[in-house]
Amino acid sequence: MSLNKTGKAAVRREPLTDTQLLMTITICIFFAMYAIAMLTLGGGFLRPQQVFDLLNDNAALIIVACGLTVVMIGGGIDISVGGVIGLTVMSCVMYLNNGGNIATAALMAIGIGLAFGLLHGFLVSYLEIQPFIVTLAGMFFARGATTMISVNPQKVTHEGFKALMKSKIEIPWLGYTAKNGNLIPARMEIGVIIALCCVLLIFLILKNVRHGRNLYAVGGNQQSALMLGINVKRIRFLSYVTSGLLSGIAGFVFMMHTGAGNATNAAGAEMNAIASSIIGGTLLTGGVGNAIGTFFGVLTLTTIKKIVVTSGLKDPWWQSITTGAMLCFFILLQSVVLSRRGKKRSADAAKS
pLDDT confidence of residue 345:
63
Residue (of 191, 150, 223) closest to 62 by Cα position = 191
pLDDT confidence of residue 318:
82
Rounded to two decimals, the pTM is 0.91
Q: Does the pLDDT value for residue 174 go beyond 60? A: yes
- pLDDT category at 40 given cuts 50, 70, 90 is confident
> Identity (one letter) of the amino acid at 28?
C
pLDDT confidence of residue 238:
96
pLDDT over 70, % of the chain: 91
Q: Does the pLDDT value for residue 13 go beyond 70? A: no
Residues 224-240: what's their mean pLDDT? Answer: 94
- pLDDT category at 60 given cuts 50, 70, 90 is very high
Q: Does the pLDDT value for residue 64 go beyond 80? A: yes
Chain-wide mean pLDDT for the chain? Answer: 88
Q: Does the pLDDT value for residue 151 go beyond 90? A: no
Residues 62-87: what's their mean pLDDT? Answer: 95
pLDDT over 90, % of the chain: 58
pLDDT confidence of residue 189:
92
Class of the CATH domain delimited by 18-34+42-333: mainly alpha
Backbone region of residue 42 per phi and psi (left: phi > 0; alpha: psi in -120 to 50; beta: other values) = left
pLDDT confidence of residue 69:
96
User: Where does residue 13 rank: exposed (0-12), middle (13-18), buried (19+ CB within 10 A)?
Assistant: exposed
- For the chain, domain boundaries: 18-34+42-333
- 3-class SS string, the chain: CEECCCCCEECCCCCCCHHHHHHHHHHHHHHHHHHHHHHHCCHHHHCHHHHHHHHHHHHHHHHHHHHHHHHHHCCCCCCCHHHHHHHHHHHHHHHHHCCCCHHHHHHHHHHHHHHHHHHHHHHHHHCCCCHHHHHHHHHHHHHHHHHHHCCCCEECCCHHHHHHHHCEEEEEEEEEECCCCCEEEEEEEHHHHHHHHHHHHHHHHHHHCHHHHHHHHHHHCHHHHHHCCCCHHHHHHHHHHHHHHHHHHHHHHHHHHHCEECCCCCCCHHHHHHHHHHHCCCCCCCCCCCHHHHHHHHHHHHHHHHHHHHCCCCCHHHHHHHHHHHHHHHHHHHHHHHHHHHHHHHHHHHHC
- pLDDT category at 181 given cuts 50, 70, 90 is low
The per-residue pLDDT for range 273-319, each reduced to its tens digit, is 999 999 999 988 888 999 999 999 999 999 988 888 888 777 778 88
pLDDT confidence of residue 352:
61
Residues 35-59: what's their mean pLDDT? Answer: 86
Least confident of 13-22, 243-252, 272-281, 291-300: 13-22
Least confident of 9-13, 55-59, 123-127, 294-298: 9-13
pLDDT confidence of residue 327:
85
